[in-house]
Every structure is written in structure tokens, then in C-alpha cells.
Amino acid sequence: MFGLLGPNGAGKTTTVKILCTLLEPTSGHAFVKGYDVVKDAGRVRKIVNMVAGGERMLYYRLTGRENLRYFADLYDAPKKEVTARVNNLLELMGLSDRADDEVEKYSKGMRQRLQVCRGLINNPEVLFLDEPTLGLDVNIAKDLRSFVREKIVREQGKTVLLTTHYMYEAEEMCDRVGFISKGKLVAVGEPQELKRRMPSGFSIEILVTRLTEETISGLGKLESVRKVITTDYEGESEGEKIDRLVVNVDNDEALPHVLTHMASTHCRVVSFNLRGPTLEDLFMFYTGEK
Amino acid sequence: MFTRVAMAEALKSLKVYFFSGRTLVWTLVLPLGNGLYLCFLYLPFATKSVNLQFNAATYTIDLVGFTIIGQLLYSFFTMMLLAGASFEAERWQGTLEALLLSPANRIALLLGEALANAVNYTWMLIALVLSWVAFIRVSILVTDLFALFASLALSYLAMVALGMCLETFDIYSRRGSIFTAWLQEPVMFLSGQIFPLQSMPGFLLPFSYLLPLTFGLMAVRLTLLGGASMHEVAVPLVALAIMTIVFLILARVLVNYAERRAKAKATLTQF
């Protein structure tokens, strides 16, 4: 599962639409499963589908079941399987009891779940989710994320490309993420790997007693340490005043070096906490957005 | 797959756009009223006839029948213009992208939409014929039933094929239906819907012969009211058959062009 992240207007939806054959690239080439999205558009359409946020792409005057049967016909799904496939999808998304109601009578969440059914009606190899939880309430969005992650990605082994504004959504769902800014892919990789690549992305907060200038200057000379900040701290340990240190480091591998240095300068470490960058930090770092 | 897509598209369009109470009134009851209006308009002249010149022969046919057939086929032509508007409705409701995201054959989609309109027209046809039969007497003169059937079928096919071409305008642009609406009045004038073609200024006739409605009106009027045989209406029938083929090929070319242009210009979501 791949997450495409970027600010408004960065080109996320445009990228998805190009990959789905709904837009033609102004230059360059794009491929899905080895097929050129312009030259082999017909083949690409058979193996992909897209779910967009915002309740579109459904016929409101048709029932949920009629919508799915119609799209099954457009994708030439095997006729013998259509009824079972439609029923399964409706069951999976919890819409069975409202399957024969017109979509205009559905709530926003139900429409979005039906959209997911539509996106899966052709059993696509690659599914594009363009802001799929947009406007959904917390519980429905959570269920949808869990469904995509567990059923579509883990159980069915499908490739999913997700675009979202919600960093926690990408962090929770995606194996790999890419950051897009002004139409350019500026970074791509596993979240942990990207965090490691981010200079000064990690910080170690250390509560310490017997802190000396020698300790602080020595820390600053360590290879992976970028910055050392001391701040006041209200508290004592075994009768000694506690100081608080925040050490910005390149990666998590710097932690043992920092602690060894502290010990060698006779400081007493009361506690420490290593904090890695969040996806939000990465987003700001790679896209330059705040 | 072609037939399946065309049928699915036609059924969907009928359910979404036509089978509601309001549209049933529009498609069934209003045409009935329109038929009655025509009947009473021409009733004072019911005994009059019109001379239709064709192939160096003159056919004297019933004036009311002449007018009503003109109205029937022109209504059908209008329905084909409306087929294009179906894609405009897809734009409004945000489903055009879902439609074009699928690998469905585009010609099958166009045919499905046109067929839905054609089926809808059948309601109108029934309503008009009912009013015709019920309220006035039209002198029908049929000598070759097969020629009549061929005239109706080929008129139907040629206009469905033309409708498919016109639908591509709405795939290309949200302003597509404006372009097709421009055709309404010129077609009404040029096709000979309300007066015989021989009354038309000569320099306009070449434009008349570009329209399937012109040949459809000619063939149906002559075979239904003038007693013409297959041999006598061979020219309009061949013209209709050629037009059907040409429009189908044109629809194929236009739909590919319209889709590619819309995707290059990012206009599929504009409404």
C-alpha cells in the first residue's frame, strides 16, 4: 500500500487520474503493471479502479444493488459471478439491508462505502483511493481504513495507492509513502527509511544531574549530533538538581553514543526519551509546507 | 461484451432519466396533447391534400398525415439530440468519469444512450398514433408493407447513428448540448418537416440532402400515405443506409477524439 502525500494543488489527484487513464499526461510516460496508460489505456482500465472522496461516481436514482450490477456489466464481470460478487461486497461493507434502496436515500457514509464496493466490482489488481475518507465521521473513516488495510491489502493482496491530507491515515495504512510538491515527487520510501534520511529528524530528551559544560561541548562534537539545547527543569533526584537536555541527532543509532558520552563525563542520567519525526514532520521537511 | 454494455447503458438511462413520474408525463401525456393540438390545427383542412414531387412523379397525399409524420420524425430527431444531453447529465451528477474509467466499449455506451432515447420516443410515437387514430381520419395508402417497414427502420437507424455522433459533443465539452441545440431550427426548416421540399429554394436543397430526416420523411410519407413501392423509394432508402454507416464510422472517430481531447484538457469533471 502506497501513500501519496502533498499539499493542495501539488498534483496528487492529477497523478491518480493519469494512472487511471482519466487524464492524459502533458509530457512523459506513466505505466501501471507495465502497461502504458496512454497507449494501452484499454488494458489499464481492466485492471484498475478508483474511489474518490465526496460521494460522486454513483447514480443516485438507482439502488445500491443496481449501481453495482450496472458497473459489473461495464467491466464485463463474469455473468455467473455477478450476483455473488455484488452480494459479497454489499455484505462486506455492511450495506446488505439497504441494498435495494435508492442511493439518494443513503447517508454520506453509506454512499462512500458503496463507492468502495464500486471500486472493487471488477476485482482490480490496483485500486486508487483519492481522499477516500473525505468528510466521513471518525468511526466510519476508521472502519474504512481498517477494511482497506485488512481485507483489500492483507487478505486479497491488492496494490492500493492512497492520496490523503491526513498524515495519521497514511502513517496507519501505508507501507511506503511518496511526497509530491508542485508536480514533482520529492521523496519516496518506507516511512521509517524517510525518517532516517531526514537530518536532525530525531531528538533525545535527557533528564540529567551533575551536568557540566564539558559534557555539553563534548556532545556537540559527536558525529551524528546536530544541536544540543539545555533547558531548565523543575525537579531533583536524590537531592541533586535535574537539568534537561534536548539533543538533535541524525538518526536513532546516535543514542548509544550520546549515553556513553554522558557516562564518561560522570553525569547521572535520570531518564531519556528518543523521539523520531512524525509523518507530519516529514511532510513539512520534504514539501516545504507548514 | 458490446451488447451487454449497450443494454446496461440503455436500461440505466431509462431508469435514471426517464422512468420517473415527471418524465413519464413529459414523454407520454404531453405528446398526446401535442398530437391533439396538431389534429385540431389541421382539422379544418382535413379534406385537403398536398402534392409531393419525387423522382419526376407527383404523389397526392393527405395533408394531415403529411404534417403528422413530419411531427413524428422530427420529434424523433429531437430525441436523438437529447441523447447527447444524457452525457451532460452524467457530468452534472459526477458519473462521467466513472463511466469512462471503465473499459466499456465507447460505441456501446453511445448506442445504449441513443437506444434509451429511442425507446423513450416509442412512447411518444404511440401517443401520437393513438391521437391520430382516435380523433381524425387520415387517408392511409400502403401498397408495399415491406417498403414501409424498411422506411421506418432505416429512418430510425440513421437517426440513432446521428444521435451517437451528437452525443460525442457532450463527452468533449460541457457546452456540447448548445451545439446540438443549434441544429434544431435549421433541421426543422431544411428537412421538409412542415412543407414539401419542392417549395424550398433550390440553393438550399444540397443542405437538405445532408440530413437523414429529409430522406426519412420522404420515404415514410411516400410509403405510408402515397402508396409508393420499394422500387420508388429506393433512393431515399439507400441514402439512409449509407448515412447510417457513415454516422456510425463518424461516431467511432468522434468519440475517440472527444474522449482524448477531454482527457488532455481535463474537462471530464466540468459541469
Mean pLDDT across the stretch A248-265? Answer: 87
Q: How far off is chain A from B164, nearest CA to CA, in Å?
A: 18
pLDDT at A290 over 60: no
Binned at pLDDT 50, 70 and 90, residue B8 comes out as very high
Q: By three-state DSSP, how is residue A240 classified?
A: strand
Of the candidate CATH numbers 3.40.50.2300, 1.10.3720.10, 3.40.50.300, 3.30.1120.80, the domain formed by A2-189 belongs to: 3.40.50.300
- Cell 482490480: give the residue: A124
pLDDT at A127 over 90: yes
pLDDT at B138 over 90: no
Cell of A251: 538518526
What mean pLDDT is reported for chain B? 81
Q: By three-state DSSP, how is residue B181 classified?
A: helix
State residue B131's pLDDT score.
Answer: 66
Per the CB < 8 Å rule, is B95 touching A59? yes
Whether B221 and B61 have beta carbons less than 8 Å apart is answered as: yes
State residue B20's pLDDT score.
Answer: 64
Which of the pair, A57 or B53, is modelled with greater confidence? A57
pLDDT at A3 over 80: yes
Binned at pLDDT 50, 70 and 90, residue A83 comes out as very high
Q: How far off is chain A from B267, nearest CA to CA, in Å?
A: 9
A 10 A CB-CB count for B215 gives: 27
Beta bridge partners of A240: A237
State residue B47's pLDDT score.
Answer: 59
Residues of B with a Cβ under 8 Å from any A Cβ are 1, 4-5, 7-8, 11-12, 15-16, 20, 93-95, 97-104, 260, 263-264, 266, 268
State residue B62's pLDDT score.
Answer: 78
- Compute the residue count for chain B: 271
Which overall architecture, per CATH, does domain A196-282 show?
Answer: 2-Layer Sandwich (3.30)
All residues of chain B having their beta carbon less than 8 Å from the beta carbon of residue A122 are 102
Whether B88 and B270 have beta carbons less than 8 Å apart is answered as: no
**What confidence tens digit (pLDDT) does each residue in B89-114 have?**
788 888 888 999 999 998 898 889 88
Q: Point out the least confidently predicted range of A11-20, A45-54, A259-268, B29-38.
A: B29-38
Binned at pLDDT 50, 70 and 90, residue A194 comes out as confident
Percent of chain A with pLDDT over 70: 98
**Between A and B, how many CB-CB pairs are < 8 A?**
73
Rounded Cα–Cα distance for residues A175 and A183 (Å): 22
- Among A260, A272, A210, A216, CA closest to A236: A210
One DSSP character per residue, A104-125 reads: GGS-HHHHHHHHHHHHHTT--S
Q: How far off is chain B from A12, nearest CA to CA, in Å?
A: 14
Per the CB < 8 Å rule, is A22 touching B100? yes
Per the CB < 8 Å rule, is A66 touching B15? yes
Per the CB < 8 Å rule, is A59 touching B16? yes
Mean pLDDT across the stretch A139-152? Answer: 86
- Compute the residue count for chain A: 290
Angle at A285 between CA A284 and CA A289, to 5 degrees: 35
Q: How far off is chain B from A116, nearest CA to CA, in Å?
A: 13
Portions of chain A given CATH number 3.40.50.300: 2-189
Portions of chain A given CATH number 3.30.70.120: 196-282
- Cell 434509451: give the residue: B116
A 10 A CB-CB count for A132 gives: 26
Binned at pLDDT 50, 70 and 90, residue B23 comes out as low
A 10 A CB-CB count for B51 gives: 10
Q: How many helices (H) and strands (E) does chain B have?
A: 11, 2
State residue A41's pLDDT score.
Answer: 92
A111 touches chain B (CB under 8 A): no
A266, burial (CB in 10 Å: exposed 0-12, middle 13-18, buried 19+)? exposed
All residues of chain B having their beta carbon less than 8 Å from the beta carbon of residue A50 are 101
Shortest CA distance from B11: residue in chain A = A70
- Among A96, A160, A19, A267, CA closest to B101: A19
Q: Which of B4, B95, B264 sits opposite A76 (nearest CB)?
A: B4
All residues of chain A having their beta carbon less than 8 Å from the beta carbon of residue B4 are 73, 76
Binned at pLDDT 50, 70 and 90, residue B132 comes out as low
Instruction: With a threshold of 0.90, tell me whether the complex ipTM lies above it.
Output: no
- Cell 412512447: give the residue: B123
Q: Which of A23, A26, A75 sits opposite B102 (nearest CB)?
A: A75
Rounded Cα–Cα distance for residues B87 and B168 (Å): 8
Mean pLDDT across the stretch A34-58? Answer: 90
State residue B43's pLDDT score.
Answer: 67
User: Chain A interface, mutation test: which of B13, B15, B22, B102, most A Cβ atoms within 10 Å?
Assistant: B102
Cell of B88: 451532460
State residue B201's pLDDT score.
Answer: 87
Long-range contacts of B255-260 (CB under 8 A, 24+ apart): B255/B106, B255/B107, B255/B110, B255/B164, B255/B167, B255/B168, B255/B171, B256/B106, B257/B168, B257/B172, B258/B168, B258/B169, B258/B171, B258/B172, B259/B100, B259/B106, B259/B171, B259/B172, B260/A24
- Among A76, A73, A116, A89, CA closest to B12: A73
C-alpha atoms less than 13 angstroms from C-alpha of B206 in its C-beta half-sphere: 1
- What is the C-alpha R_g of chain B? 19
All residues of chain B having their beta carbon less than 8 Å from the beta carbon of residue A78 are none
